[in-house]
Amino acid sequence: MRADTRPFDDRVDAGRRPAERLASFRGRDVVVLGLPRGGVPVAFAVARALRAPLDVLVVRKLGVPFQPELAFGAIGEDGVRVVNDAVVRRTRLTRADMAAVERRERAELQRRSERYRGGRSRIPLSGRVAVIVDDGVATGATAKAACQVVRAEGAARVVLAVPVGPPDVAERFAGYADEVVCLQTPPFFSAVGQGYRNFTQTSDDEVIALLRRARADVADTAAADIGDPPPLRDEEVRVDAGGVTVTGHLTVPGQPIGVVVFAHGSGRHSPRNRYVADVLRRAGLATLLFDLLTPDEELDRANVFDIGLLAERLVGVTQWLAAQPETAALPVGYFGASTGAGAALVAAADPRVQVAAVVSRGGRPDLAGQALGKVRAPTLLIVGGRDRFVLELNHQARAAIPAVCEIAVIPGATHLFEEPGALDQVAELARDWFTDHLSRTGASTRP
């Protein structure tokens, strides 16, 4: 099999790399600006590394009508307009052609700006360093418009940071950006996606969730500055689980009361999971977000429903936690979503591990089968009120679980809890369940 030479796993992975090159800006008056939608996951990782606030900078590419992927220009929020005259000449666009595209994109720009910010004001840029982040540069028209927008708003310095772009990216942005950070410049560059193993589209909901998490990070940073202890451990980890190496991120806050393992086939970079993990950490819980499937295994959808495989990997990861000095003495909880909930319950019934609590989010506990009758860990099943089929399956599972088991219904929520405030309720319910049951277990096992 031919080796995959693409340098980045996904956008979050890509964001960590330029953050290392931007370390000199940490502690300075910096605002990180993500270009939605794909640039926001990258920008989130950069903002977190720099401990800087994150905002979106909404710009829209103006695509040639008969070849939309080819940009003849771009527009920004403050009436900024950039046109690539060479493309206009080559494609023989008329003013009417260009005006029609701009009207449509201007309306979309307004819609996105209102949706992403939810009535919040833009972060002021006057006198500050503006770090503009995208998932890559192709024609550069969108990023150039972004640079002009922040210049107009009084930014003292403009930095463009992208994971991948053409070899002449620095020359293209001369006069637009004061500094360009681009990690990969392939000699035969053709598209941004060639730098990523996973380049799935970023949704509006993911952008909103990341902005919300970034605001929480700023609040946490302020609290840390006045005396919160630093985390004992916060890093990417690789674990051999049954002869297969799986990857995750372990964060152990100071004085943790327990550790929660997130059970999912793939999704450690999911904004929903990471948001819930943030809420748990602020309550004193360590978190381990793991992909229980390898990138190759993810390609086969059937593996997502292989509950035995997922549960066996989860047991292996739990045993690995028991061997880590920061988590060895901590009670363990499982947070499972969708089919991961079935795997979490099977693993919780496994005598090789001790699990103190389980929470399911929109889960399929029925997939645990006969293992439900062996579950001894207190279990909370969270289901959306409009997710009727899954709600019925959860009622059946509750009847089969001999341990303490409750169902919490989020009124009006659907399977993914995308409705406003729904995920907040999920996170709060999970936090309360874990802090209650893990702190009890931890207290009973301490000398």
35: tokens are 């270009």
Q: What is the CATH number that goes with domain 9-219?
A: 3.40.50.2020
Cβ contacts of 212 within 8 Å, gap of 6 or more: 275
Sheet with 285-291: list strands edge to edge: 233-241, 244-252, 285-291, 258-263, 332-337, 357-361, 379-384, 405-410
- On the question of a common fold for 9-219 and 227-436, the answer reads yes
Cβ neighbours of residue 301 under 8 Å, at least 6 residues apart?
none
- Residue pair 266/343 in contact (Cβ under 8 Å)? The answer is no
Do 80 and 152 contact (CB within 8 A), yes or no?
A: yes
Dig out the tokens for 401 from the structure: 């679980």
Q: Tokens at residue 165, please?
A: 């772009």
CA dihedral of 400, 406, 412, 414, whole degrees rounded to 10: -50
pLDDT value for 217: 67
Residues in the chain, overall count:
447
β-pairing, 285-291 with 59-64? unpaired
Distance CA 433, CA 335 (A): 11
d(CA 19, CA 45): 7
Pick the CATH number of 227-436 from 3.40.50.1820, 2.60.120.620, 3.40.50.10490, 3.40.50.1000: 3.40.50.1820
Query: What does the domain layout of the chain look like in residue ranges?
Result: 9-219, 227-436
pLDDT of the chain, 447 residues: tens digit per residue = 344 567 888 887 888 777 778 888 887 889 999 999 999 999 998 998 888 999 999 988 898 999 887 888 888 876 778 888 999 999 999 999 999 999 999 999 988 888 888 777 788 888 899 999 999 998 888 898 899 888 878 889 999 999 999 999 999 999 999 999 999 998 888 889 888 988 888 888 889 888 888 887 665 555 545 455 677 888 888 888 777 888 888 999 888 999 999 987 555 567 778 888 988 998 899 999 988 887 778 777 788 888 999 999 999 999 999 999 999 999 999 999 888 899 999 999 999 999 999 999 999 999 999 999 999 999 999 999 999 999 999 999 999 999 999 999 999 888 888 787 788 889 999 999 999 998 765 443 333
pLDDT of residue 264: 73
DSSP state of 8: B
CA distance 230 to 285: 14
Calpha distance 45→332 (Å, rounded): 27
